[in-house]
């Protein structure tokens, strides 16, 4: 496609792309009308030259529209989504969703699998026997009606262009591009369609963003896209210089989440989850002190743990902790045990 070659050249030379150029790029990825070498060339040009806010917004919206938009915010206007950029031992989402739902706020979470050296929320939920994330709007609604929380997985419906472009990014060393990271995250969030979003952007040695400055830059870009799409958003930059909690490994991290939901667990994991969950409640109009107090009550009175069990059942899983796999060997700083 000659016109697209010209678009690649414009970006290569540092000129701003039109929205039509970016729609052609995304459509070419979604329907294979553009060859991989041209897609890869554009990815590299964006990675090297960067993208303006207008280019990033157009890219996000084109990727969102490459598939089906669930528009769950129209049916559940109070619903909130959450995203973490990932970190070691980060099982916050497993606590956040049932905890916020127990406070009467629906949670619609587009979850992801592992990225780099970390396991994603879908990997951890996959440790629960029978657990199946929603892959369609109908399934998401069924889960919301049953328990007030839905974990969704990217499917052929949601931002299919992102799947193709992510594979190419991984093989062309263009994963670190800020614009491409933002587009990958936000296209899926906007396609699901919650009107409220909480962002946890990690920084530190165990995070994708190594410095607070890089994390703030990413957070600012994500917030900007959300607001331009009329999504109410809160963002926190949190430290990931050490694992968030003492448990690593998918089944072990589910146990860590259960311990917090039952009113105990690791202090840092609990505190961060409550901070992020309070942001979700505040987006719905509750004051900060009241939101925190309610969250603490839900952890103490057993309703958060009960909502976790209901959420697992609604997703086809078995909430019996005894069914979780156990490691053949476990390590701690002072001892090693085997089973």
Q: Which of 24, 91, 177, 184 is catalytic?
A: 184
303 is catalytic: no
Burial zone of 337 (CB within 10 Å; 0-12 exposed, 13-18 middle, 19+ buried): exposed
- 187-216 as b/e: b if 16+ CB within 10 A: bbbbbbbbbbbbbbbbbbebbbbeeeebbe
CA quadruple 255, 261, 263, 266: dihedral positive or negative? positive
* 147 neighbors 310 (Cβ within 8 angstroms): yes
DSSP-derived secondary structure for 182-236: HHHHHHHHHHHT-SEEEEEEEESTTSSB-SHHHHHHHHHHHHHHHHHTT-EEEEE
For 21, 43, 50, 66, the CA distances from 4, given in Å and listed in that order, are: 7, 13, 18, 18
Residue 183 near residue 221 (C-beta atoms within 8 A): no
Which of 65, 81, 162, 266 does the annotation list as catalytic? Answer: 162
184 is an active site residue: yes
What residues pair up with 82 in beta bridges, in sequence order? 198
Catalytic residue among 49, 64, 82, 83: 83
Identified catalytic residue from 49, 143, 164, 169:
169
| SS3 call for 335 | strand
- Catalytic residue flag (residue 189): no
Q: Catalytic site residue 169?
A: yes
- Choice among 11, 82, 164, 188 that is catalytic: 188
∠189-90-267 over CA atoms, to 5°? 125
User: Tokens 């990413």 appear where?
Assistant: 218
Catalytic residues: 83, 162, 169, 184, 188
């Amino acid at each position: 496609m000659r016109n697209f070659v010209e678009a690649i050249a414009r970006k290569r030379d540092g000129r701003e792309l039109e929205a039509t150029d970016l729609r052609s790029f995304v459509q070419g990825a979604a329907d294979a009308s553009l060859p991989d070498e041209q897609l890869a060339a554009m990815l590299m040009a964006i990675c090297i030259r960067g993208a303006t806010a207008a280019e990033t917004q157009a890219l996000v919206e084109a990727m969102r529209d490459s598939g089906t938009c669930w528009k769950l915010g129209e049916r559940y206007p109070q619903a909130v989504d959450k995203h973490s950029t990932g970190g070691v031992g980060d099982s916050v989402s497993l606590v956040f969703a049932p905890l916020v739902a127990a406070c009467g706020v629906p949670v619609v979470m587009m979850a992801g699998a592992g990225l780099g050296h970390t396991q994603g929320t879908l990997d951890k939920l996959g440790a629960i026997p029978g657990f199946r994330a929603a892959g369609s709007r109908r399934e998401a609604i069924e889960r919301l009606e049953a328990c007030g929380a839905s974990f969704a997985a990217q499917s052929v419906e949601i931002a299919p262009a992102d799947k193709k472009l992510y594979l190419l990014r991984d093989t062309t060393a263009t994963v670190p591009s800020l614009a491409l990271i933002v587009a990958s995250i936000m296209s899926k969030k906007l396609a699901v369609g919650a009107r409220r979003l909480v962002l946890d952007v990690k920084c530190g040695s165990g995070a994708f963003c190594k410095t607070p400055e890089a994390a703030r830059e990413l957070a600012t870009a994500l917030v900007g896209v959300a607001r331009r799409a009329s999504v109410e958003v809160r963002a926190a930059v949190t430290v990931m210089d050490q694992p968030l909690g003492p448990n690593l490994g998918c089944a072990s991290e589910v146990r860590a989440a259960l311990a917090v939901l039952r009113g105990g667990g690791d202090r840092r994991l609990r505190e961060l989850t409550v901070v992020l969950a309070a942001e979700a409640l505040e987006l719905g109009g509750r004051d900060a002190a009241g939101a925190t107090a309610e969250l603490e009550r839900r952890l103490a009175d057993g309703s958060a743990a009960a909502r976790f069990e209901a959420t697992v059942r609604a997703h086809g899983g078995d909430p019996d902790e005894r069914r979780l796999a156990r490691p053949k060997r476990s390590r701690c700083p002072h001892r090693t045990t085997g089973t």
